[in-house]
């Protein structure tokens, strides 16, 4: 009989508890946030009531008071030399490693870290940054305005987590930010006796393992989730901690445990939390393998040709709000007649209808330079929330192949799914979770219902003097774009910098052509031209600059005003469409007037934009008919249409995200016995 003491259970073994045990077991080991299933019925009502009550807890005032006490300790640490500061940090590390710290010890540690940041980076966190750090340490989602220093604020709770010895993952939105922040903030961590590393997409497993062994690891949500799934695949048939330990004892190899790269899911700080935990949560991350099928590939090409023979309104009805196609009885019969001579996969009624629906969906709702681009002969998905390319993702259920066939590209066969996990479920597995973003207040219900993260709005260090101009509404897109160009010309004549936000690659390229026709020098930042997005966005605040950017391109990069720009009125942000989430509009507008700088923001929209067409179809059409001509129709009523459409879009998106999470639960409960999903 082998006896194993509790002290001998390493972080890797703790990781096996999460990754290898049945869900019913690890559910009991996790915090309430990591509970596997969303509550239902009365439990859901109770949880919603708890979330509403939780909003009235005066966290912000408490964090601000504690932050001031920490700032008051500045002189205590400013008077000691570097060697004494390192010694003090070492003492704190021992204290937190043993778990014997008190609230006053945490305040002392934060005060020390403020001094370390000043000596290593020349930046001393402001009281509001300290308050944000306290919110992260308390397991909240901290809303800190753009430019308020979230990256520096995160170093304080991350250092505390590193001192505790179980690792800390700081989640960013792309590889560039992961590398930049790890190198930039690494001096603070190393001064405090901690190791820091970052994960890049091209890293080999051995490099990843070393990076995850560091005290603080910067990585993207896609990389950390993919590594978790690969670790589960490496375990193979090992479905419990006991079997893993016995395999290790029996043959010394662990039959897969030696190939694990992660050491555990203890604590995660999620940067741009609304983007990572909400906007990108709809699409699950899937690890798959090749499954060659020439007959199926040819069928996708045939489906695209057959779709051209069907007529909208007679054979099928498109639902633009849900992006769905419904075949009519006449359409089903016509499809049967058209496919009768083909045979093969077309013989099955359900199969042929699925194929034709995907082909019709690809043609009606997925447009080139909007939902995807063609790069080097391949269909590459464009993230509709960030405007970034996602070359490592494909649409499921044959949709990707239908789009490849539509664009007359090489059709690649669908792949076998080996492992699947939504970002929502993955982040609920962490024992401790916190987030920071510039826009969280609008999504407080979802942060609570999905992750049990209370939202705390941290005030700005300096008063925000951003001027919000009322939306300008037009009946048609052509009238809107003419007005957008005229407004850019007007502002450019005053030498003010302008940042123009668009929702798609197509819109940014269209606006670029209009600006070139007017002889205006400008820069375009979209999913196609993303290589230097941080540098382009950083320079968008200089005089005479015109920058056209898709959605949230360059998010995470501050825009600093050039010389003399503040006197001109600062950066003006011009949105050319409203987004399906109000948070994203506010995030775009937050690019101006950072840290007390002057600035202004305005949206120019039309009734032909995607948002009102999908989510306020009848009302926007009625207003357009009433106006009759292409013109400006700004009023309280027309602006109200966009507010209504936005609320509907947000409710729909929330239902979709909950459906994805429930699908994960269903697959785990009913297909947990399967080696892999088909």
Three-state SS string over 39-80 comes to CCHHHHHHHHHHHHHHHCCCHHHHHHHHHHHHHHCHHHHHCC
Tell me if residue 212 falls in helix, strand or coil.
helix
Bridge partners of 288, per DSSP, are 417
Distance CA(107)–CA(158), nearest Å, equals: 14
pLDDT band per the 50, 70, 90 thresholds, residue 670:
low
Q: Which residues contact 623 (CB under 8 A, 6 or more apart)?
A: 475, 607, 633, 637, 638, 641
Distance CA(348)–CA(299), nearest Å, equals: 13
In this prediction, residue 31 carries a pLDDT of 41
In this prediction, residue 17 carries a pLDDT of 44
Highest mean pLDDT among 136-140, 391-395, 415-419, 636-640: 136-140
Tell whether domain 6-286+423-457 is in CATH 3.40.50.300.
yes
Distance CA(167)–CA(132), nearest Å, equals: 21
pLDDT cut 90: percent of the chain above it: 56
Is the Cβ–Cβ distance between 447 and 141 less than 8 Å?
yes
DSSP state of 256: G
DSSP state of 390: E
* Residue 567: both structure tokens together: 């006197």
In this prediction, residue 661 carries a pLDDT of 81
Backbone phi, psi, residue 308, to 5°: -70, -20
Express each pLDDT in 343-394 by its tens digit.
888 988 998 999 999 999 999 999 998 889 898 899 998 876 666 777 778 8
460 C-beta neighbours (distance < 10 Å), count: 17
CA distance to 130, 174, 296, 418, 593, per residue, from 291 (Å): 52, 30, 11, 12, 52
- 6-286+423-457 with 292-414: one CATH topology? no
The length of the chain is 678
Helix H or strand E segment including 107: helix 103-121
Tell me if residue 21 falls in helix, strand or coil.
coil
Q: What is the mean pLDDT of the chain?
A: 86
Q: Which of 19-28, 125-134, 470-479 has the lowest mean pLDDT?
A: 19-28
pLDDT band per the 50, 70, 90 thresholds, residue 501:
very high
Q: Which of 129-133, 228-232, 278-282, 590-594 has the lowest mean pLDDT?
A: 278-282
Q: Which of 378-382, 383-387, 499-503, 580-584 has the lowest mean pLDDT?
A: 383-387
DSSP 597-612: -EEEEEEEEETTSHHH
Helix H or strand E segment including 498: strand 498-502
Distance CA(666)–CA(178), nearest Å, equals: 33
What is the pTM assigned to this prediction? 0.83
pLDDT band per the 50, 70, 90 thresholds, residue 422:
confident
Bridge partners of 316, per DSSP, are 312, 327
Give mean pLDDT, residues 393-410: 89
Model confidence at 33: pLDDT above 60? no
Distance CA(636)–CA(89), nearest Å, equals: 58
Q: Which of 85-94, 278-287, 437-446 has the lowest mean pLDDT?
A: 278-287
Q: Which residues contact 30 (CB under 8 A, 6 or more apart)?
A: 18, 429, 431
In this prediction, residue 629 carries a pLDDT of 73
CA distance to 166, 295, 318, 551, per residue, from 11 (Å): 7, 48, 52, 40
Is the Cβ–Cβ distance between 578 and 550 less than 8 Å?
no
Burial 346-369 (b: 16+ CB within 10 A, else e): beeeeebbebbbbbbbbbbbbeeb
- 261 Ramachandran zone, left/alpha/beta (phi>0; psi -120 to 50): alpha
End-to-end CA distance of the chain: 41
In this prediction, residue 530 carries a pLDDT of 46
pLDDT band per the 50, 70, 90 thresholds, residue 420:
confident
* Residue 243: both structure tokens together: 């079997």
pLDDT band per the 50, 70, 90 thresholds, residue 35:
very low
Express each pLDDT in 517-528 by its tens digit.
999 999 988 755
pLDDT band per the 50, 70, 90 thresholds, residue 331:
very high
Residue spans of the domains in the chain: they are 6-286+423-457, 292-414, 465-657
Model confidence at 28: pLDDT above 50? no
Query: What fold does the segment set 292-414 form as a domain?
Result: Pre-protein croslinking domain of SecA (3.90.1440)
DSSP3 helix / strand / coil % (the chain, rounded to 5): 55, 15, 35
Q: Which CATH class is domain 465-657?
A: alpha beta
């Amino acid at each position: 009989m082998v006896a194993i003491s509790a002290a001998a259970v390493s972080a890797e073994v703790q990781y096996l508890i999460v990754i290898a045990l049945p869900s019913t077991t690890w559910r009991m080991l996790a915090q309430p946030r990591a509970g596997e299933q969303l509550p239902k019925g009365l439990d859901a009502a109770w949880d919603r009531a708890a979330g509403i009550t939780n909003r009235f807890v005066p966290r912000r005032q408490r964090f601000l008071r504690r932050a001031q006490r920490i700032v008051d300790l500045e002189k205590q640490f400013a008077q000691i030399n570097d060697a004494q500061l390192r010694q003090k940090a070492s003492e704190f590390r021992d204290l937190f490693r043993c778990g014997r710290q008190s609230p006053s010890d945490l305040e002392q540690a934060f005060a020390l870290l403020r001094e370390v940041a000043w000596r290593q980076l020349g930046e001393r966190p402001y009281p509001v940054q300290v308050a944000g750090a306290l919110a992260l340490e308390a397991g909240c989602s901290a809303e800190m305005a753009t430019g308020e220093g979230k990256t520096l604020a995160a170093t304080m709770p991350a250092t505390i987590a590193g001192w505790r010895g179980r690792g800390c993952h700081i989640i960013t939105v792309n590889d560039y930010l992961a590398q930049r922040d790890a190198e930039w903030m690494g001096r603070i961590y190393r001064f405090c006796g901690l190791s820091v590393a970052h994960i890049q997409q091209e890293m080999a497993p051995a490099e990843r393992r070393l990076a995850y062994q560091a005290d603080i690891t910067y990585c993207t949500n896609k990389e950390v989730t993919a590594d978790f799934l690969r670790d589960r695949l490496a375990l193979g048939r090992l479905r419990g901690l006991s079997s893993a330990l016995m395999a290790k004892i029996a043959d010394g190899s662990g039959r897969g445990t030696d190939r694990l790269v992660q050491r555990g899911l203890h604590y995660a700080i999620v940067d741009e939390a609304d983007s990572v935990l909400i906007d990108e949560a709809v699409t699950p991350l899937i690890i798959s393998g090749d499954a060659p099928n020439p007959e199926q590939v040819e069928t996708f090409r045939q489906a695209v040709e057959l779709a051209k023979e069907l007529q909208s309104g007679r054979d099928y009805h498109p639902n633009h709000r849900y992006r769905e196609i419904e075949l009519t009885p006449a359409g089903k019969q016509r499809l049967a007649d058209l496919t009768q001579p083909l045979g093969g996969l077309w013989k099955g009624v359900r199969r042929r209808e699925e194929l034709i629906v995907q082909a019709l969906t690809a043609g009606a709702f997925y447009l080139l330079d909007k939902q995807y681009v063609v790069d080097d002969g391949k269909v590459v998905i464009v993230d509709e929330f960030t405007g970034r390319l996602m070359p490592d993702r494909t649409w499921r259920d044959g949709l990707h192949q239908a789009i490849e066939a539509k664009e007359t590209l090489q059709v690649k066969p669908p792949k076998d799914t080996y492992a699947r996990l939504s970002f929502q479920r993955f982040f609920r597995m962490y024992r401790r979770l916190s987030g920071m973003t510039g826009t969280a207040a609008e999504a407080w219900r979802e942060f609570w219902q999905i992750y049990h993260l209370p939202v705390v709005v941290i005030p700005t260090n300096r008063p925000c003097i951003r001027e919000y101009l009322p939306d300008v509404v037009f009946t048609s897109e052509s009238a809107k774009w003419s007005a957008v160009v005229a407004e850019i010309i007007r502002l450019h004549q005053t030498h003010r910098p302008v940042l123009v936000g668009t929702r798609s690659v197509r819109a940014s390229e269209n606006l670029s052509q209009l600006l070139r026709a007017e002889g205006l020098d400008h820069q375009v930042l979209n999913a196609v031209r993303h290589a230097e997005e941080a540098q382009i966005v950083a320079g968008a605040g200089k005089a005479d600059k015109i920058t056209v950017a898709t959605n949230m391109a360059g998010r995470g990069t501050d825009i600093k005003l050039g010389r003399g720009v503040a006197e001109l009125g600062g950066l003006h942000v011009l949105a050319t469409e409203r987004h399906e989430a109000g948070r994203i509009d506010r995030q775009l507008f937050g690019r101006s007037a950072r840290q007390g700088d002057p600035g202004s923001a305005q949206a120019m929209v039309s009734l032909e934009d995607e948002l009102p067409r999908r989510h306020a179809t009848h009302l926007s059409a009625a207003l357009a008919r009433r106006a009759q001509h292409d013109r400006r129709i700004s009023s309280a009523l027309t602006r109200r249409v966009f507010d209504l459409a936005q609320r509907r879009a947000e409710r729909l998106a929330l239902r979709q995200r909950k459906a994805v999470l429930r699908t994960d639960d269903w697959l785990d409960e009913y297909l947990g016995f399967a080696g892999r999903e088909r």
